[in-house]
């Protein structure tokens, strides 16, 4: 099979379409990573390193400040939404296809600018990484931070996650846990000799029903929290009183709170029940008070917003690097069967990044 090639002389819109038509579902990013690596190695002002299926391209111009601009190249599974196509809904032109929003349009903008901007005002590290859409242990950016943290160093970072072309600062933290109720098994014909753990789960659900999630101002951005049951498991057989029930809960907490503080909060909230943490991720504060962040906001000319979901900006924050999300695409269309991105947002994000990296006006 011939190696895939990318035409980086195309517009950002047309390059997005090229990327959409190269399937790269998680675990199958290799061919796209190969094409990106090959294209970047032909660019004289970039130094290219590959770690697994993550491609890093860096300028080395001796600038006194460096920005890291990153995007993931994998997608969730395809569901009859490849090949791509253009479509118009109302008066708005879209590009439709798996990954259009999350996040091949953002990657296309980055690839184009990486090639075209030989003399940016900052040194730039471009990172295109694998396995973002699957488990934490496979994440290419996590692996890069562990194996080559030097390649992630910078004074500021931008992640191309879909943000409707707005700047979204930081991200909420994420906590998944189980609340367990305990009972005593018995035959359902003689239920009074047992104790029904599923019935006790009503108390857990009532706590969640009564809970009022906070809105928290963190460095000028207001983050909305959420505490919700996302699953419930219980039962042994159709004629057995269950002795255990597990309520799966997801807590999205403002970045002013650490994971430890979030765990303490939910443990107190469900006092008297067994609480087991299944997964956790620290959030990231907005970081908009950093000098480069202020310059970026001014150059792009849009009002920053909070990021409610968790993103890999938190990895940069954990390294002491302030980071924001900035990319084309409506996050509500990420992973949808009708995933599509407005063409104008691709153009606007390219213009915004180009203006900032060249010291011009968007």
CATH of the domain at 126: 3.40.630.10
Residue 32 shares a structural domain with residue 120: yes
Query: Which residues are the active-site residues?
Result: 74, 132
Is 67 inside a domain boundary? Answer: yes
Note down the domain range covering 251: 173-281
Q: What is the pLDDT of residue 4?
A: 87
CB contact set of 289 (below 8 Å; sequence gap of 6+): 219, 322
- CA dihedral (360, 64, 316, 312) positive or negative: positive
Residue 250 shares a structural domain with residue 134: no
| Whole-angstrom distance, CA of residue 62 vs CA of residue 217 | 38
Residue 189 shares a structural domain with residue 327: no
Residue 19 shares a structural domain with residue 121: yes
Residue 228 shares a structural domain with residue 149: no
Q: What is the pLDDT of residue 222?
A: 97
Q: What is the pLDDT of residue 3?
A: 75
What are the DSSP calls for 22-56, one per residue? S--BTT--HHHHHHHHHHHHT-TT-EEEEETTEEE
Residue 45 shares a structural domain with residue 160: yes
Out of 239, 260, 281, a domain closes at: 281
Do 322 and 221 touch, CB atoms closer than 8 A? no
Residue 270 shares a structural domain with residue 201: yes
| Whole-angstrom distance, CA of residue 196 vs CA of residue 201 | 9
Is 111 inside a domain boundary? Answer: yes
CB contact set of 335 (below 8 Å; sequence gap of 6+): 76, 102
How many structural domains compose the chain? 2
| Whole-angstrom distance, CA of residue 38 vs CA of residue 42 | 7
Out of 244, 262, 281, a domain closes at: 281
Residue 145 shares a structural domain with residue 28: yes
Is 1 inside a domain boundary? Answer: no
| 3-state SS assignment for residue 209 | helix
Residue 63 shares a structural domain with residue 87: yes
The CATH number that applies at residue 204 is 3.30.70.360
Nearest partner of 322 among 185, 195, 192, 167, judged by Cα? 167
Do 85 and 142 touch, CB atoms closer than 8 A? no
Instruction: Going residue by residue through the chain, which has 362 residues, state the pLDDT in tens, using 9 for 90 and above.
Output: 567 899 999 999 999 999 999 999 999 999 999 999 999 999 999 999 999 999 999 999 999 999 999 999 999 999 999 999 999 999 999 999 999 999 999 999 999 999 999 999 999 999 999 999 998 889 999 999 999 999 999 999 999 999 999 999 999 999 999 999 999 999 999 999 999 999 999 999 999 999 999 999 999 999 999 999 999 999 999 999 999 999 999 999 999 999 999 999 999 999 999 999 999 999 999 989 999 999 999 999 989 999 998 999 999 999 999 999 999 999 999 999 999 999 999 999 999 999 999 998 76
Q: How far from chain centre, in Å, is Cα 272?
A: 35
Residue 207 shares a structural domain with residue 311: no
Q: Considering the entire predicted model, what is its pTM?
A: 0.91
Is 6 inside a domain boundary? Answer: no
Q: What is the pLDDT of residue 143?
A: 96
Residue 217 shares a structural domain with residue 145: no
Tokens describing residue 75: 């997608």
Is 73 inside a domain boundary? Answer: yes
Is 91 inside a domain boundary? Answer: yes
| Whole-angstrom distance, CA of residue 224 vs CA of residue 12 | 33
- CA dihedral (336, 342, 345, 347) positive or negative: positive
Residue 313 shares a structural domain with residue 260: no
Out of 247, 263, 281, a domain closes at: 281
Is 5 inside a domain boundary? Answer: no
Q: What is the pLDDT of residue 229?
A: 98
Is 4 inside a domain boundary? Answer: no
């Amino acid at each position: 099979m011939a190696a895939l090639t990318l035409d980086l002389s195309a517009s950002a819109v047309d390059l997005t379409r090229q990327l959409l038509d190269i399937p790269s579902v998680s675990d199958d990013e290799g061919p796209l990573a190969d094409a990106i690596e090959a294209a970047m190695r032909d660019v004289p002002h970039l130094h290219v390193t590959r770690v697994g299926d993550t491609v890093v391209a860096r300028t080395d111009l001796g600038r006194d400040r460096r920005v890291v601009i990153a995007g993931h190249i994998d997608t969730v599974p395809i569901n009859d939404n490849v090949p791509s196509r253009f479509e118009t809904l109302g008066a708005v032109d879209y590009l439709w296809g798996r990954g259009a929003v999350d996040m091949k349009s953002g990657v296309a903008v980055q690839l184009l600018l990486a090639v075209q901007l030989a003399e940016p005002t900052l040194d730039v590290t471009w990172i295109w990484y694998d396995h973002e859409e699957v488990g934490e242990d496979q994440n290419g950016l996590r692996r890069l931070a562990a194996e080559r943290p030097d390649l992630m160093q910078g004074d500021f970072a931008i992640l191309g996650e879909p943000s409707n072309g707005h700047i979204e600062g930081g991200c909420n933290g994420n906590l998944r846990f189980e609340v367990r109720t305990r009972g005593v098994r018995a035959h359902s014909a003689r239920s009074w000799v047992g104790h029904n753990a599923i019935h006790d789960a009503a108390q857990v659900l009532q706590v969640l029903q009564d809970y009022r999630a906070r809105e928290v101002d963190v460095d000028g951005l207001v983050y909305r929290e959420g505490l919700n049951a996302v699953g419930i498991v219980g039962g042994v057989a159709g004629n057995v009183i269950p002795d255990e029930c597990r309520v799966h809960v997801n807590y999205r907490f403002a970045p002013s709170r650490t994971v430890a503080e979030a765990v303490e909060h939910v443990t107190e909230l469900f006092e008297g029940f067994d609480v087991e943490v299944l997964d956790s991720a620290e959030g990231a504060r907005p970081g908009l008070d950093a000098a480069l962040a202020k310059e970026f906001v001014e150059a792009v000319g849009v009002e920053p917003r909070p990021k409610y979901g968790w993103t890999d900006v938190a990895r940069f924050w954990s390294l002491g690097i302030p980071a924001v999300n900035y990319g084309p695409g409506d996050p509500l269309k990420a992973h949808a069967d009708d995933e599509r991105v407005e063409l104008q947002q691709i153009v606007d994000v390219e213009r915004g990044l180009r203006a900032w990296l060249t010291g011009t006006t968007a």
